[in-house]
Structure 1
Amino acid sequence: MPELTLSDGVRLHVDVHGPAYAPVTVVLLHGWCQDRRTWQNQVAALRVLGVRRPRVITYDARGHGRSGATHLAGATLNRLGDDLAEVLSRYAPTGPVVLGGHSLGGMTIMEYAHAHRAAFAERVAGLLFVSTTAEGHTHTQYGLPSRLAALLRAGETVGAGLLARSGPWCPHKALLPALRPAVRWLLFGDEYDDDALELALRSFGRAPLRSIGGFRPSVGTQQRLETLAELADVPAAVLVGERDRLTPPPCAKSIAQALPFADLTVLPGAGHMLPLERPTEVSAALTAIVDRATPARRPRAKRRAATQLKKAA
């Protein structure tokens, strides 16, 4: 499997699917404490597009999945945005790009857009934002009353600081069976596949304590609506679950308002893990964006007919 060593020495695990000569490259970024497998259904859906099939790149963010551990100073959203720039430079240096982000992945795209504006404007031809936010924890209530949510967030913030200093260890992996009900409640909605929940649990189990706690401060404070407003002419789709407890519908609505050409979809009864919970809807939205981003191709028969007409003339 391809690997990329970043400028600060962290190693990324990267998967590349599809032909190098594809008309569009799609880069899909996963969420906090998850990994590239979150997008497995969408990667499969894009494989069957025939001549429209894009090249697809998925990778485990630093400190996640099979990528190397991050040092604490690198556990920030702006560093993730720079990592995306390095991935693009290595694996998709030319041609139009579609960026899709789930949760932390969507925030990473916003950081890339903010810090690499010229490259973004030149390359990015489509966006997919799934279960994400541009306003930190502004709207996060965990499905609880406001006062209780504020207490929980304060406790989470203190706990995150302790975890961030605990190093690249994964002791919680042994506790996954006990954590299953809490993870299911926090991440999933009314209907979900058991395999989807198990995948989310396994991914969480591989996330080191430093990654669980280290990214929390920048995730909670990010504010990028102004950056999104500058991307108004980029085709985009924004999806959110009606029962998302981490990035609830107000998060998606504010993103869609900042992007006038964005299509907003709120999925009834769904939670936070839409690529796994509602793979058909997410794949359809991604495919539609890819279609809009793919350069127009004249069918071979029409090109042949046009050539014959020119010769006859």
Structure 2
Amino acid sequence: MTSVEVTGHDGVRIHATVHGPEDAPVSVLLSHCWTADESDWHYQVEDLLSRYGHGIRVVTWDHRGHGSSDRVPEAACTIPHLARDLGLLADQLAPTGVVVIAGHSVGGMTITAIPEECPRLVDRIAGVLLVSTSGADLHTVTLGLPELGPALRDRLPFVLATRARMLSRSRRQRFPVIERQVARRFLLGRDPRPRDVGHVVDQLVQCAPETYAGFFRDMMIHDRIGNLRSFDSIPTTVLVGSHDLLTPPPHARALANGIRGARLVIAPDAGHYLPFERRDLVSEELFDLVDRALREGAADEAS
């Protein structure tokens, strides 16, 4: 494991972690959820390394405004910025071979922006996994509450941002009342494991107010459905939990319908945090994409 820093297109410092050799035939790039950090994928990183060892490269990173990466103003908290960051990370940390890219929530939205923001990367993509994410129309989400949902959806990120501005991190860690309610009620499905709830709550507490507000505003106008045809020739799987209140199954279905040949998998009783709630499912889908990329690479070499 190597921790590195990559400078974004606008000078923002992006923290990343790399496993495996630089000249690996396949690199797996894992783009995390809004308000989270690279540990969003910690189960999948462990599973990938257990299965492939140093036969592949695995790259995770903290998005701008998240984790150990630089805190940025609201104007720099946008999906196009994340897509450009992803392109630079791929250029610098996975310079050879093909890439399999997985994105959770805003990480998946970032993938849908690749054709616009870093089209040079499309030809290198050998597999795509879109997890609990959306291509458009997030302003229609009701959080499962048809009457109160839209108002609550619009208010919650700013309540969390206000807490982050007014209360110290240590105080919010001791009394994460709102953060725990958000995690249990809206982010996780039925019967979540306590350690996963704690992990999500900790990520919410660590999140900067600009990150809450800026990305929420941008996600509400996110519309990349028109980009999906760029992935038609790429093996793609779309995963969603049946109880995902943030990016519900109709959003996943729209993504799958927009990419020729894409598979849609709905996980019963799961919420928005599939990398935690359905570790085996998410890892197995990644294995399938990586195995296919390795086979195709071996066939190309043989020919």
TM-score if structure 2 supplies the norm length?
A: 0.90
Whether the 8 Å CA contact 2:20–2:54 is kept in 1: the answer is no
The structural deviation recorded for 1:24 is 0.3
Instruction: Find the aligned partners of 1:191 and 1:229 in 2 and give their Cα distance.
Output: 37
In structure 1, the partner of 2:298 is 297
Instruction: Find the aligned partners of 1:112 and 1:10 in 2 and give their Cα distance.
Output: 19
Instruction: Find the aligned partners of 1:128 and 1:285 in 2 and give their Cα distance.
Output: 8
| Other structure's SS at 1:120 match | helix
Residues 195 and 156 of structure 1, relative CA distance in 2, 3 Å threshold: closer
Q: Which amino acid aligns with 1:260?
A: R
The structural deviation recorded for 1:92 is 1.3
Two-structure CA RMSD over aligned residues (Å): 2.5
In structure 1, the partner of 2:113 is 111
Instruction: Find the aligned partners of 1:275 and 1:296 in 2 and give their Cα distance.
Output: 27
In structure 2, the partner of 1:214 is 214
Structure 1 residues 160-199: Cα deviation after superposition (integer angstroms, max 9, x where no partner): 7975x959x8574454245313321111111321111111
Structure 1 residues 109-153: Cα deviation after superposition (integer angstroms, max 9, x where no partner): 111222222x133211110000000014144211112x3222223
Establish whether residue 229 from structure 1 lines up as the match of residue 229 from structure 2. Answer: yes
Residues 11 and 296 of structure 1, relative CA distance in 2, 3 Å threshold: closer
In structure 1, the partner of 2:16 is 14
Q: Which amino acid aligns with 1:128?
A: L
In structure 1, the partner of 2:132 is 131
Which stretch shows the higher mean deviation, 20-29 or 1-10? Answer: 1-10
Match of 1:62 among 64, 73, 77: 64
Instruction: Find the aligned partners of 1:271 and 1:221 in 2 and give their Cα distance.
Output: 23
The structural deviation recorded for 1:272 is 0.3
Residues 162 and 111 of structure 1, relative CA distance in 2, 3 Å threshold: same
In structure 1, the partner of 2:26 is 24
Q: How does 1:83-122 map to 2 (within 5 A)?
A: 83-117=85-119, 119-122=120-123
Q: Which amino acid aligns with 2:138?
A: H
Q: Report the identity percentage.
A: 35
TM-score if structure 1 supplies the norm length?
A: 0.87
Q: Which amino acid aligns with 2:43?
A: N
In structure 1, runs of 5+ residues without a counterpart are 304-313
Q: How does 1:1-313 map to 2 (within 5 A)?
A: 1-50=3-52, 53-117=55-119, 119-145=120-146, 147-156=147-156, 159=158, 170=169, 172-294=172-294, 295-297=296-298
In structure 2, the partner of 1:306 is none
Instruction: Find the aligned partners of 1:259 and 1:231 in 2 and give their Cα distance.
Output: 6
Instruction: Find the aligned partners of 1:161 and 1:277 in 2 and give their Cα distance.
Output: 23
Structure 1 residues 237-266: Cα deviation after superposition (integer angstroms, max 9, x where no partner): 110000001000001000000112211100
| Other structure's SS at 1:49 match | helix
| Other structure's SS at 1:182 match | helix
Instruction: Find the aligned partners of 1:292 and 1:49 in 2 and give their Cα distance.
Output: 14
Residues 151 and 138 of structure 1, relative CA distance in 2, 3 Å threshold: closer
Count matched residues.
296
